[in-house]
Amino acid sequence: MRARTAFDYYNNNYGTVMDLTLYSRFLLAFYIHLFIVKINIMTTTNFSTETSEDQVPRKNFKNGIIVVLAIAFLGTWGYLLIEQSKTGSVIQQNQTQIAKIGDEKSDIRKSFDESLSRLDSMTGITAEMKSKLAERNGEISKRKTEIRNILNKKNATTAELTKAKGLIAQLNDKISNMEQDVARLINDNQSLSQDKVVLTQEKKELDSNLTATTVVKQDLEKKVDIASTLNASNIVITPVNVRSSGKEKVTTTAKRVNKLVISFQVNNRIAQSGMTDVYVCITGPDGKNIVSQASGAGTFTTREEGDKSFTAKLPVDLEASKNKSVEFAFTPGADFQQGNYTIQIYQNGFKIGEGTRELKKGGLFS
């Protein structure tokens, strides 16, 4: 009950928050005080009936005890004051150390934030660069995690903060290396971009030159193609009468003509050796093309007249820079008529020669 009373007394006079060490010191002093009061009460009660002669020694004894207790009380308070002073000094030192650790932790966090800002400044790098820097990104992420774990501790020790400083130093080294790599990659990328621009321009020029060259080439090919077209010369159209004996006789009388023998020569100094087709078109006196399936008639395309029917297609085996003689006989499906028969010769889409032969009506005895 007295301990509770002392506790209540301390709280009523010194506040509700109490350090256990201070409370124990106060309790010791409080009990000493109670002991002195009890002795006074006992002395007064026990010695009140005694004579004055007996009271003198007892009074001296009481006074001696009081002096001893007073000295002990004062010594105790002195000791308590010294201990309190030491405790206050330790608390002050602890508070100073805590403040120092707090400031150090704040500086470390600031340094860490600056490192993260440097990292964030490199977020604009391309996906290709990120791929090349993937390994270093992994190492940096590991360091960031270790540093955050230390900084998130409420009661981080000095050793842990020192470790965090070292990790931040390593992080900054890796960030510096990454910055150098990024700068190099950006420089390489810029060089490649410049090279690409140059190559694109060169390609454009080459394409332009190629187009011009192609046009010139096509023009030259066209000229060569045209220039290589054959020339037909010495065109001879011979109307022939074939007798029952098989003997042939030249005649100009229409009713006696059985066939037309057409001969001519073709040549070209720049034409290449090889096979080529020559088309012969025969037009009768009525102005119509004579088409005979027996002679292999058909249609071909000219360069100036469009599609045209031909009477015969003759394959010719050319020899460079040499004249080539061509001859064929044409027999129509019906009798020849009086009038002019026109022979047109085509090669390479162009008309290369033309000749006319007139067949006469003939007399009574022809």
- The pTM score is 0.47
Among residues 312, 304, 305, the alpha carbon closest in space to that of 278 is found at 312
Distances (CA, A) of 217 to 204, 226, 227, 280: 19, 14, 15, 32
| Helices assigned H by DSSP within 247-343 | none
Contact (Cβ atoms closer than 8 angstroms) between residue 314 and residue 256: no
Contact (Cβ atoms closer than 8 angstroms) between residue 337 and residue 329: no
Q: In this predicted model, which residue has the larger pLDDT, 27 or 222?
A: 222
Tell me which of 21-25, 175-179, 197-201 is least confident: 21-25
Among residues 279, 308, 276, the alpha carbon closest in space to that of 296 is found at 279
Counting other chains too, the contacts that 143-152 makes at CB distance below 8 Å and 24 or more residues apart are 143/167, 143/170, 143/171, 143/174, 144/116, 144/171, 147/112, 147/171, 148/112, 151/105, 151/108, 151/109, 151/112
- Amino acid (one-letter) located at 127: A
Among residues 241, 223, 262, 261, the alpha carbon closest in space to that of 354 is found at 262
DSSP three-state, residue 350: strand
231 Cβ contact partners less than 8 Å away, ≥ 6 residues apart: 266, 267, 268, 352, 353
Distance, CA of 252 to CA of 235 (rounded, Å): 17
CA 236 to chain CA centroid, nearest Å: 76
- Amino acid (one-letter) located at 104: E
Counting other chains too, the contacts that 153-162 makes at CB distance below 8 Å and 24 or more residues apart are 156/101, 156/105, 158/101, 158/104, 161/101, 161/104, 161/105, 161/108
pLDDT at residue number 343: 95
| b/e sequence 134-147, b meaning 16+ C-beta within 10 Å | eeeeeebeebbeeb
pLDDT digits (tens, 9 = 90+) for 107-155: 787 877 877 777 666 655 555 566 656 666 777 778 788 888 888 887 7
Average pLDDT over residues 18-39: 57
Distance, CA of 359 to CA of 250 (rounded, Å): 11
Tell me which of 23-37, 115-129, 192-206, 315-329 is least confident: 23-37
Average pLDDT over residues 351-356: 94
Distances (CA, A) of 337 to 264, 295, 365: 23, 19, 18
Mean pLDDT of the chain: 78
The string of DSSP codes covering 32-65 is: HHHHHHHHHHHHHHHTSSS-HHHHHHHHHHHHHH
- Amino acid (one-letter) located at 119: L
pLDDT > 50? residue 3: no
10 pLDDT band, cuts 50/70/90, is very low
Contact (Cβ atoms closer than 8 angstroms) between residue 140 and residue 119: yes
Contact (Cβ atoms closer than 8 angstroms) between residue 253 and residue 362: yes
